[in-house]
Structure 1
């Protein structure tokens, strides 16, 4: 009706396997871009997080993945005891800690100094 059949041209066609040789550099380039923009930064971030968790010590202030801020009371191999309020301590898996703040790091004030 409105569409006419399309016929493939056989004259000047590449040899069998020729398409693979033209696609191979593009495929390698795509894999390299994916590695440098996605995989490598994620690996570096995981390495920094692991180093941060191994450097935790008692009396450090930590931020949990839920947003709770507390002070480390005890450090064990896979878990940490965090005091979130006076006399309230919770046991937390180390991997759920997103940030470790230094012991003497000042907290920002909510009011303006006059």
Structure 2
């Protein structure tokens, strides 16, 4: 394998692109979705945790993260 070959560079950049679109991008979208969900929470709203526990929002403290 010759590292000066342009095909090698194209393959490396393609692998980086695939890694970005299948690993990093979905994580960023999920983080934005979770942040939006927390911002839209209101007192009295019913929620379900990721483990399946059902509950109701009793109070909100926007200062704590």
- Same fold, judged at TM 0.5 (above): yes
Note the residue ranges of structure 1 that are not aligned, 5 or more in a row.
Answer: 1-13, 80-114
TM-score relative to the length of structure 1: 0.49
Cross-structure match for 1:66? 51
Question: Hey, which of these two has a bigger chunk of strand by percent?
Answer: 1
The one of 38, 41, 46 equivalent to 1:53 is 38
Cross-structure match for 2:28? 43
User: Stretches of 4+ moved more than 3 A in 1?
Assistant: none
| TM superposition shift of 1:68 | 1.2
Supply the RMSD in Å over aligned alpha carbons: 1.9
Structure 1 Cα separation of the partners of residues 24 and 16 of structure 2 = 10
The one of 23, 28, 31 equivalent to 2:16 is 31
Note the residue ranges of structure 2 that are not aligned, 5 or more in a row.
Answer: none
Question: Hey, which of these two has a bigger chunk of helix by percent?
Answer: 2
Alignment of structure 1 residues 1-114 onto 2, 5 Å: 18-19=4-5, 21-77=6-62, 78=64
TM-score relative to the length of structure 2: 0.80
Instruction: Give the total of aligned pairs.
Output: 63
| TM superposition shift of 1:42 | 1.4
